[in-house]
Structure formats: C-alpha cells, structure tokens
Amino acid sequence: MNIAMLNIMLCRFAGPFILLVLFASVVVSFLGYEVTAPVLWLDGILIILFFTYYTISQGLTFYVFRRILQTFFVLWVIATMTFGLLRIIPGGPFDQEKALAPEVKAAIEEKYNLNAPLYEQYGNYLLRIAKGDLGTSYKYYDRNISDMIADSLPNSFQLGIFSLILAFLVGIPAGVYAAANHNTVKDSTTMILAISSVSLPSFLVAAIMITIFTFKLGILPPALWDGTAFYIMPVVVLGLRPAAIIARLTRASVLDVIRSDYIRTARAKGLSETVILYKHVLKNSLIPVLTFAGPLAAGILSGAFIIEHIYNIPGMGKHFIMSVTNRDYPLVIAATLIFSFLLIISNLIVDILYTYFDPRIKLS
C-alpha cells in the first residue's frame, strides 16, 4: 500500500470514523446513558490523533509546538494576576457575620498558611500548581479542588457540547437559508427570530419554557440533570443565543461569498443551487463563524452560570461566581485557569481549522 492509498484511506475512512465515534458518544450521552471512561479516552485519543496527523501533514508542527509553549506562559501570567487580585479585594475567606475569636482566627490562618508573607504563599502555591495539585477548598473543608472539578466539569461539558451542536445545527442552515432568500419575507422572518433570540435574556426564556413545558404541558421536568428529558430545556435555552449569532454571521458571510466570481462560474456550469450553496459557498463562508466559535466554546463548556443555576445542573458555572463570593482562593484560581486553558486551546483549534477551510491561510 503506497502513501497515496494511505491518504485516501485516512480521508475516506478515518475522518468519518472519528466523527461517527464522537457523534455516537454524544447521542448515547444525550439518551441518558453514562458514557464510560474507556469510551471517553477513545474519543480524546481519536481527536488528538486527528489533530496531530493534520498538524504534521500540513507542516504546522513547529507552529503548534510554539503555541503550546506560549500557553504555559499565559497560564502563569493569569495565575499570578488572579493570585494578586484576590489579595487586593477586601474581605478574606474566613470573614463572616459572626466575628471569630482572635485565637480561633489565628489558628485558622495558621492552618491554611494565610499568615505567611505573600511571596511565600505565592511561591508555595506556584509550586503546588506545577505539581498538578490544586489544593483543598476553604469553603468545603478538606475537599480536593480536583475532586470538585471532576464532579462538576463533566456536567458543564455535557450541557455545553449539546448546546454547541444545537447552535451549529440550527444556526448555520438558518443563516444559509436567509442568505439564499435574501431580501424576502423568509429572510426577514429568520433574522427577526435571530435578533429576538439574541436580545431575550436567558433567564426569561428559561422561565417561559418552564411555565409552558412543565406547568402547562407537563412533559418536561423543571430541573435536575439526569436524562434526556432533563437535558432538553437547558440545552435549548443555552443554545438559542449562539445559534442566533451564528445564523447572523453565516448570513452575512454567505452573502459576501455568493457574489464572488467562482460562484457565478459554478452557476454557469449549471450546478444546482443546493450544491452551490452547501458545497461551494458554505465552506468559504465559515471563517467568521469559526472565529466566533473559539471563545464561544470555551465560554459554554466551562459552565453557564445562569442556566445551571435555574435548572439546578451540578456544573462548573456556580464555582466561578460562588468561589469569589466565598473568597475560596484555591477554587477561584482553579476555575480561572480552567477557563483560560479552554479558551487558549479552543482558539488554537480554531486557528488550525482555518487552514482547512481556507487553504490560502498560512500559519507560521
């Protein structure tokens, strides 16, 4: 078997195979089954293999390597800034309504090493993070931060992935549909819907949906996170706004591309409008959507506070808000680092995907 064959095999089979496995994982999870650890590992390894192969085959190895090195530096800067800011805001983790007796306060500060000089606390803390130890929570006594994240992040990921898929599945076709019917009633109706979805606050949409689907129709549960019926409302509410933004971005970008010369050529060749739109126009219109997708993915995957709060989903979202309210320093830092890491990685993935959607883009 020669290299050409290998390439054909990889493109023909490996790509669809990976997509199928990932898609199956999502569907299985959505159906309320527990996706087991080996399957999750398989998913992860497949994605990494795919990106490694793509990176190497496109000659991006050095670029990606450099970006990963940069990531460590950025994370260090963020960790330092968070550490500093937390010490600047007034109020400490053990300040509360009932003032502690001075002896008790001294003992607590001693226990958590809060009485040591700042540079020493900072040094200890960096050292621990470098070892991968995120410490224990101040609020939830003796609970490991890593355990807390392991308990909550998968739920946020689940919610986030469902919502992202929904956003793309709805947003892109809606955008293309509106653009294809440019300046008609269909276009304006789609766009009015999109604008309202962007402007309606999610807690309001959530409340309205609960009133309809729980209290009037009695078909969906109002809260919790334990199976398909529980997933539907939060996923729709969370996915609605990004779907609308994606629809608007896609529409604008499709309108841009649709006027270019090669589309006129395609039309002249007699290709059907559907083929033109979905094969030739769409691929080249996705760059702005991709740019938006990076931060969107990071934001949604790391926990949507309001949605998780309303639907009582035990995800990461609350840790972002509550850890600051509680001045739970180790948890604040861990949450910030996780968000930053997701943001950096998703931006890297987006940058790599640019080269796929538009081969003219060269990363160096």
Using CB under 8 A, list all residues that contact other proteins: 5, 8-9, 12-13, 17, 20-21, 24-25, 28-29, 32-36, 38-39, 89-92, 94-104, 106-108, 110-112, 136, 139-144, 147-148, 151-152, 210, 214-215, 218, 221-224, 226-227, 309-312, 314, 318, 325, 327
Q: In this complex, which beta carbon is closest to other proteins, that of residue 140 or of residue 357?
A: 140
In terms of CB distance, is 263 or 321 closer to other proteins?
321
Cα–Cα dist 307/233, whole Å: 10
Radius of gyration of the chain (CA): 24
Compute the least distance from the CB of residue 47 to other proteins, in Å: 16
Instruction: Give the number of other CB atoms < 10 A from CB of residue 358.
Output: 13
* Residue 364 C-alpha from the chain's centroid: 26
Residue 272 C-beta: closest distance to other proteins, Å: 25
Would you say 308 or 351 has its CB closer to other proteins?
Answer: 308
Token pair in block for residue 275 = 């083929």
86 or 243: whose CB is closer to other proteins?
86
Number of other residues whose CB lies within 10 A of the CB of residue 306: 15
Q: How far is CA 304 from CA 37, 150, 232, 258, 340, in A?
A: 24, 17, 15, 36, 15
What angle (nearest 5°) sits at the alpha carbon of residue 120, between those of residues 114 and 125? 75
| Shortest Å distance, C-beta 82 to other proteins | 17
Cβ atoms of 220 and 233 closer than 8 Å: yes
> Closest separation between CB of residue 328 and other proteins, Å?
10
CB of 24 to other proteins, least distance (A): 5
* 62, two tokens: 């050095």
d(CA 40, CA 53): 20
Report helix, strand or coil for 204: helix
The answer to whether 222 and 210 have CB atoms below 8 angstroms apart is yes
What phi, psi does 136 have (nearest 5°)?
-115, 155
φ, ψ for residue 220, nearest 5 deg = -125, 145
Nearer to other proteins, 240 or 310 (CB): 310
d(CA 304, CA 178): 29
Q: In angstroms, give the least distance from the CB of 303 to other proteins.
A: 12
**Shorter beta-carbon distance to other proteins: residue 58 or 144:** 144
Length of the chain: 364
Q: Which of 293, 308, 309 is nearest to 345 (CA)?
A: 293
Q: From the CB of 223, what's the least distance to other proteins, in Å?
A: 5
**Nearer of residues 85 and 361 to other proteins, judged by Cβ:** 85
In the three-class reduction of DSSP (H, G, I as helix; E, B as strand; rest coil), residue 136 is classed as strand
CB 297 within 8 A of CB 258: no
> Which is closer to other proteins, CB of 154 or CB of 295?
154
Our CB check for other proteins shows the closer of 177 and 305 to be 305
Return the bridge partners of 136, or none.
Answer: 144
Task: Give me the least distance between CB of 317 and other proteins, in Å please.
Answer: 11
- Least CB distance from residue 110 to other proteins, whole Å? 6
